[in-house]
Amino acid sequence: MGELETGRGLNQELGLIKAGDTRWGSHYKSFGNFISNFASIVDVLDALVVNASTPDERASASGFLRSCQTFETVFLLHLMTDVLGITYDLNGSLQNKEQDIANAMILVKVCKRRLQALRDNEWDPLLENHSGWDSLKEKVEFFCIKHKISLPNYDDPYANSGRSRRKVVDYTTLHHYRVELFYKIIDWQLQELNERFNEVTSDLLNGVACLNPIESFSSFDIKKIVRMAELYPDDFDGFSMRALENQLANYIIDVRDIDKVATATVERAFSAMKFIKNDLRNRMDDELLDGCIVPYVEKKVFKAVSNEWDEDSSSAIVIY
């Protein structure tokens, strides 16, 4: 239909894949693809209504078509895309085999702040627009106009198509979409994050992240580790907690000094390889390479070693 750029490999991720129960990223992709392919989906359903081989297929396609072309469906599609888009990077981080706990905890905080900003309709200086209700409402209305879907009168009492007409609710259409859907869904997502990453869990994970040895324990934080230890009062009494702080201070100085020495040794070895294994000696095996690098790196030690025979031990050291 000309709505999507075509070409080799470009449309691999545009199918309406089945959403997984445990992978929320699959829901985000499905909602996004539904919006991108909306016109094509409507055309296919319309064709099925006309060309269905059985009355049941025709009725089913007709029901799906009618559901798709409602303001509420479009509203929920865009709302869920916005909400799940905020947590998409966090989902990917938590499912990563190479788990970076520190980065995951940062993403949790970012997600909570962005969801709260979305709920509060805060002004976004980058987009020069409100990032919440106003932006969503404008986006949904533009989509509905483009696809010829009727817009509701927000001041009218909300009428649920699935309920009896006699049971009219006592709130407006605007209240339904803003309070019953927009606020409630965001609050559910925030509640889920707060329950999964409460204060105790966050302190524990932050403490574990501080023990990451990458970059000479760059994430090491004594206060966070002590806070983690406080979560186990049966194992750490008052005296143990005071001793722990000193032990941690001694530990980080010790391991960083060792790490510096190890790093310097490795760097010296690689520098030596550039001189030893040059173009003329490119095919030397590992044993010969080791034998050449050690004397080269430890020049001071080997200068004190004699090349002459030691008559007492009947041995000799030869420097190649």
How many CB atoms lie under 10 A from the CB of residue 255?
Answer: 14
Domain ranges of the chain: 24-36+70-197, 215-303
Quote the pLDDT of residue 222. 81
State both tokens at 78. 């865009």
- Between 68-72, 163-167, 192-196, the lowest mean confidence (pLDDT) is in 163-167
State both tokens at 113. 């702040």
Q: What is the mean pLDDT of residues 172-196?
A: 92
β-bridge mates for residue 310, sequence order? 315
d(C-alpha 307, C-alpha 319), whole Å: 7
Q: What is the mean pLDDT of residues 157-175?
A: 73
d(C-alpha 313, C-alpha 310), whole Å: 6
Nearest-CA neighbor of 31 among 19, 47, 45? 19
d(C-alpha 10, C-alpha 15), whole Å: 12
Q: Which residue has better confidence, 304 or 5?
A: 304
Quote the pLDDT of residue 52. 86
pLDDT digits (tens, 9 = 90+) for 235-249: 888 788 888 878 888
d(C-alpha 133, C-alpha 177), whole Å: 10
Quote the pLDDT of residue 53. 87
In this predicted structure, the answer to whether residue 220 has a pLDDT above a threshold of 90 is: no
d(C-alpha 95, C-alpha 245), whole Å: 33
User: How large is the angle between the packed helices 286-297 and 238-276, nearest 10 degrees?
Assistant: 110
Q: What is the mean pLDDT of residues 205-231?
A: 76
Q: What percent of the chain has pLDDT over 70?
A: 68
In this predicted structure, the answer to whether residue 289 has a pLDDT above a threshold of 50 is: yes
In this predicted structure, the answer to whether residue 234 has a pLDDT above a threshold of 90 is: no
> For strand 123-124 and strand 129-130, is the pairing parallel, antiparallel, or unpaired?
antiparallel
In this predicted structure, the answer to whether residue 320 has a pLDDT above a threshold of 50 is: no
pLDDT digits (tens, 9 = 90+) for 33-90: 899 889 989 999 999 999 988 889 899 999 999 999 999 999 999 999 999 988 888 8
φ and ψ at 315, to 5 degrees? -140, 165
Quote the pLDDT of residue 319. 44
d(C-alpha 295, C-alpha 319), whole Å: 8
In this predicted structure, the answer to whether residue 161 has a pLDDT above a threshold of 80 is: no
**pLDDT category, 149, cuts 50, 70, 90?**
very high
Quote the pLDDT of residue 175. 93
Nearest-CA neighbor of 221 among 109, 102, 99, 93? 102
pLDDT digits (tens, 9 = 90+) for 75-104: 999 999 999 988 888 887 777 766 677 777
Q: What DSSP assignment string belongs to the chain?
A: --SS--STTTTTT-S-PPPPSS-HHHHHHHHHHHHHTHHHHHHHHHHHHHH-SSHHHHHHHHHHHHHHTSHHHHHHHHHHHHHHHHHHHHHHHHT-SS--HHHHHHHHHHHHHHHHHHHHT-EETTTTEESSHHHHHHHHHHHHHHTT-PPP-TTSBP--TTS-TTS--SSBHHHIIIIIIIIHHHHHHHHHHHHHT-HHHHHHHHHHHTT--HHHHTT--HHHHHHHHHT-TTT--HHHHHHHHHHHHHHHHHHHHHHHHHHHHHHHHHHHHHHHS-GGGTT--HHHHHHHHHHHHTHHHHHTS--S-BTTTTB-----
d(C-alpha 289, C-alpha 293), whole Å: 6
With tokens 């934080």, the residue in question is 221
